[in-house]
Structure 1
Amino acid sequence: MASISRGSAPDPRLLFADLVRCETRLYNALNERLRERHGIVTSQYEFLRHLREHPGCRVADLAAEFAIGIGATSKGIDRLERHGWVARQPNPADRRSSLLVLTDDGVRMVDAAERTFTERVTELIEGALDRTRAAAVAEALALLRTALERDQIGMPTG
């Protein structure tokens, strides 16, 4: 059940529950739409989008961006590579790692999936929040994320 706090400090337990449940429900709704239209899930879309915006990053860079383990990230990239959407190239600065780049098929996939993603997330947010509230939520989450990332909170250990 959602908590609503008007004017007083929110109960941190309820705030946490609301944040987590919203994230889970949004993620699931986006998974459903992306799978239906493109045969991918949200995590794959997010990896592809990040690689489009940051060509030549490494698996470790992706893991840090998404605050997930390197092993899980590498497995996710392996799946994208098998689909022909991502290629690993030798890293000239470090022979132990590879640089990740989108293939032409990967660019086409992420561009098509982005339209679907944007359409669906917009529907979900606009269906619940007016522009003023959506802007306030976006600002609050950006501040919280900035503080967590600045202090390296919640980074996986492996």
Structure 2
Amino acid sequence: MLDERLSAQLHHDHGMSHREYEVLVRLDGAGGRLRMSQLAGQMVASQPLISQTIGRLEKRRWVRREASTSDKRGIDAIITAVGSQALAEASKPHADLIRSLLLSLMDKADLVPFTRAIGIVADHLRTHRLGGVCNLPSCPLVEE
């Protein structure tokens, strides 16, 4: 239900899917450039799905592809100035909707532990996404 509302808002107001928005967010957060395989790994999506998404973003000139700077066999996705502008225009209304759907349900006393818990989860997921060492003895994300 939440995902449907968030996706509908992005599509209606900004002409982008939630996946396209996430690609732009991830590229922006990575300094504007990510290898396609890294992007697929971060988004837990197949390479063909990411390639299709990047293709749609290229048609709008929001993203372009170039040979990887670290390994010429790889391809990097790069957010363009137009893509950065589209992301900037979508981000505040998107964040406002998240606030109204989720955070408005809580009073200030509830927000502190909620924010802390979300931060812990985000840090943990970031560790895995960036290939760091997980210190949890029974982490469900570690394959045995």
Structure 1 and Structure 2 fold alike (TM over 0.5): yes
Matched with 1:76 is 53
Q: How many residues align?
A: 131
Q: State how far apart, in whole Å, the 2-side matches of 1:106 and 1:51 are.
A: 10
Deviations 1:2-47 (A, max 9, x none): xxxxxxxxxxxxxxxxxxxxxxx22211111111111112221111
Matched with 1:143 is 120
Q: Does the CA contact (< 8 Å) of 1:125 and 1:134 recur in 2?
A: no
Q: TM-score, normalized by length of structure 1? A: 0.71
Deviates more, 1:136-145 or 1:69-78: 136-145
Q: Does the CA contact (< 8 Å) of 1:87 and 1:101 recur in 2?
A: yes
Q: State how far apart, in whole Å, the 2-side matches of 1:127 and 1:136 are.
A: 15
Q: State how far apart, in whole Å, the 2-side matches of 1:42 and 1:121 are.
A: 13
Which structure is larger by alpha-carbon Rg, 1 or 2? 1
Computed over aligned residues only, the root mean square deviation of the Cα atoms, in angstroms, reads: 2.3
Deviation at 1:136, TM superposition (A): 2.2
Q: State how far apart, in whole Å, the 2-side matches of 1:133 and 1:26 are.
A: 20
Q: Does the CA contact (< 8 Å) of 1:67 and 1:154 recur in 2?
A: no
* Residues 1:95 and 2:72 are matched in the alignment: yes
Q: Does the CA contact (< 8 Å) of 1:85 and 1:104 recur in 2?
A: yes
Deviation at 1:142, TM superposition (A): 3.8
Matched with 2:141 is 153
Deviation at 1:127, TM superposition (A): 2.6
* Residues 1:27 and 2:3 are matched in the alignment: yes
Q: State how far apart, in whole Å, the 2-side matches of 1:121 and 1:136 are.
A: 18
Q: State how far apart, in whole Å, the 2-side matches of 1:125 and 1:72 are.
A: 29
1:154/1:82 CA distance change after superposition, 3 Å: farther
Alignment of 1:5-154 (within 5 A): 25-54=1-30, 55-144=32-121, 146-147=123-124, 149=128, 150=134, 151=139, 153=141
Q: TM-score, normalized by length of structure 2? A: 0.77
Identity %: 22
Equivalent AA in structure 2 for residue 121 of structure 1: I
SS at match of 1:60: helix
Equivalent AA in structure 1 for residue 47 of structure 2: I
Q: State how far apart, in whole Å, the 2-side matches of 1:134 and 1:70 are.
A: 37
SS at match of 2:105: coil
